[in-house]
């Protein structure tokens, strides 16, 4: 997922976490903690009516995020994900609760989207130059794409509760499209479980909001206008969130151009090629950021109406899909999406 969600209450990003207290509504005080993780930045705002140690909270957050990286990073050869990628087929592997939990959500996403979201497309992502291999500005040939496709398919992963997985084909995982979302959920849980309910947690543009902001209002977040020219980018719409997560996927940040044609980093798991739909941005609001993160990616690949029909069947889930038509940008919203919009 790209950083195409803009927090309306802007927070500065620093290489290491920093914290600032500020007066807020009632007897509480707002604090801000920022830092770097997963190749991007995180920003957290929370309100407490008790004096808290921002240094202690900063360390808790850093430990939590480093733990997630040790389990799901594609770039750490000793992570659980990397070790799974090296394992042989049919071999039973004991994994952590965190990793298993993410894979359960991944399996659900694969099934409900009819394979539009597939966490095993690492060979394709690498082939197109968007993964852990070298970048490229050439288009792979059909034989290369077919060879990569033969090593994909989430249905070749077996999940055996409570914490065992197997693969029935020599496949490799790439959970980049949901790992940041899971990080958001884990950090949010740190605060909620400690009794701090007024929080806004953001990692690389994926967010979870609970409670109220420093003015006593629901947290407001903006979906940015999907334009390749970031200098002219502004907000497309603003939403208010109530114990909800939001994640956005778009094809206008990470791409390469060859012979005048842009190739997106979002790969269709069925064809092996970057998506070629009119959809330029998809935002999902749901109860967890892990689920919203993955579903937003799937909506970039699915037919617009098929995606809307899916979201309208799901509980506690809404979406906004933006397409580029001859007349400009066009919004396609789920049935109850407008209830979240600030001053629609």
Q: Is 68 exposed, middle or buried (0-12, 13-18, 19+ CB in 10 A)?
A: buried
pLDDT at 131: 75
43 vs 265: which has the higher pLDDT = 43
> Looking at the chain, how many residues does it have?
344
DSSP secondary structure string for all residues of 245-294: EEEEEESSSSEEEETTEEEES-B-TTTSSB--SSEEEEEEEES-HHHHHH
CATH code: domain of residue 130? 1.10.3980.10
Question: What are the φ and ψ backbone dihedral angles of 264, each rounded to 5 degrees?
Answer: -75, 160
* Residue 322 belongs to some domain of the structure: no
* Residue 278 belongs to some domain of the structure: no
Q: Please check the confidence at residue 15 and state whether its pLDDT lies above 70.
A: no
SS3 6: strand
Percent of the chain with pLDDT over 70: 85
Average pLDDT, the chain: 87
198-203 and 219-224 strand pairing: unpaired
Q: Pick from 197, 203, 244: which is nearest to 220 by CA?
A: 244
- Nearest-angstrom CA–CA distance, 318 and 340: 9
Q: pLDDT tens digits, residue range 208-264?
A: 999 999 999 999 999 999 876 654 568 999 999 999 999 999 875 555 565 556 667
The H or E element spanning position 239 is strand 235-241
Q: Please check the confidence at residue 288 and state whether its pLDDT lies above 80.
A: yes
SS3 220: strand
Percent of the chain with pLDDT over 90: 73
Question: What are the φ and ψ backbone dihedral angles of 233, each rounded to 5 degrees?
Answer: -80, 140
pLDDT at 134: 67
Q: Please check the confidence at residue 8 and state whether its pLDDT lies above 80.
A: no
Query: What would the mean pLDDT of 191-203 be, rounded to a whole number?
Result: 97
Would you give the end-to-end CA distance of the chain in angstroms? 26
- Asked if 322 and 287 touch (Cβ cutoff 8 Å), the reply is no
* Residue 151 belongs to some domain of the structure: yes
Query: What would the mean pLDDT of 270-282 be, rounded to a whole number?
Result: 91
pLDDT at 22: 44
- 154 is in which domain, residue-wise? 72-176
Query: What would the mean pLDDT of 319-331 be, rounded to a whole number?
Result: 95
| Number of domains comprising the chain | 1
pLDDT at 27: 58
* Residue 129 belongs to some domain of the structure: yes
* Residue 258 belongs to some domain of the structure: no
- Nearest-angstrom CA–CA distance, 289 and 336: 19
pLDDT at 192: 98
* Residue 186 belongs to some domain of the structure: no
Residue 78 CB neighbour total at 10 angstroms: 8
Poorest-pLDDT segment among 82-86, 131-135, 139-143, 280-284: 131-135
Q: pLDDT tens digits, residue range 73-91?
A: 988 999 999 999 999 998 9
pLDDT at 263: 63
pLDDT at 53: 94
Query: What would the mean pLDDT of 132-139 be, rounded to a whole number?
Result: 72
- Nearest-angstrom CA–CA distance, 124 and 145: 7
- Asked if 214 and 24 touch (Cβ cutoff 8 Å), the reply is yes
Q: Please check the confidence at residue 105 and state whether its pLDDT lies above 50.
A: yes
- In this prediction, residue 2 has a pLDDT band, given cuts at 50, 70 and 90, of very low
* Residue 106 belongs to some domain of the structure: yes
* Residue 100 belongs to some domain of the structure: yes
Q: Please check the confidence at residue 9 and state whether its pLDDT lies above 90.
A: no
- In this prediction, residue 277 has a pLDDT band, given cuts at 50, 70 and 90, of confident
């Amino acid at each position: 997922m790209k950083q195409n969600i803009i927090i309306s209450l802007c927070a500065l990003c620093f290489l290491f976490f920093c914290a600032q207290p500020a007066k807020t509504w009632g007897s509480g005080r707002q604090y801000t903690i920022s830092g770097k993780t997963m190749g991007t930045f995180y920003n957290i705002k929370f309100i407490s009516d008790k004096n808290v140690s921002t240094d202690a909270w900063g360390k808790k957050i850093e430990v939590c995020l480093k733990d997630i990286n040790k389990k799901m990073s594609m770039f750490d050869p000793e992570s659980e994900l990397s070790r799974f990628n090296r394992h042989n087929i049919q071999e039973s592997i004991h994994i952590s609760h965190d990793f298993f939990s993410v894979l359960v959500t991944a399996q659900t996403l694969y099934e409900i989207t009819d394979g539009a979201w597939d966490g095993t497309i690492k060979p394709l992502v690498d082939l197109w130059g968007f993964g852990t291999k070298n970048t490229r500005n050439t288009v792979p040939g059909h034989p290369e794409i077919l060879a990569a496709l033969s090593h994909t398919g989430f249905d070749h992963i077996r999940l055996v509760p409570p914490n065992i997985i197997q693969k029935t084909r020599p496949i490799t995982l790439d959970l980049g499209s949901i790992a940041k979302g899971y990080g958001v959920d884990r950090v949010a849980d740190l605060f909620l479980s400690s009794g701090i309910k007024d929080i806004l947690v953001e990692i690389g543009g994926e967010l979870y909001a609970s409670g109220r902001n420093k003015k006593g209002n629901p947290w407001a977040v903006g979906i940015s206008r999907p334009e390749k020219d970031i200098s002219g980018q502004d907000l497309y719409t603003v939403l208010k969130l109530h114990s909800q997560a939001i994640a956005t996927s778009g094809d206008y940040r990470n791409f390469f151009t060859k012979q005048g044609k842009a190739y997106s980093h979002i790969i269709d798991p069925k064809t092996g090629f970057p998506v070629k739909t009119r959809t330029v941005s998809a935002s999902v609001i749901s109860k967890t950021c892990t689920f919203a993160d993955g579903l937003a990616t799937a909506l970039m690949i699915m037919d617009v109406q098929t995606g809307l029909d899916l979201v309208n069947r799901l509980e506690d889930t809404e979406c906004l899909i933006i397409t580029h038509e001859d007349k400009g940008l066009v919004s396609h919203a789920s049935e109850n999406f407008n209830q979240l919009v600030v001053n629609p």
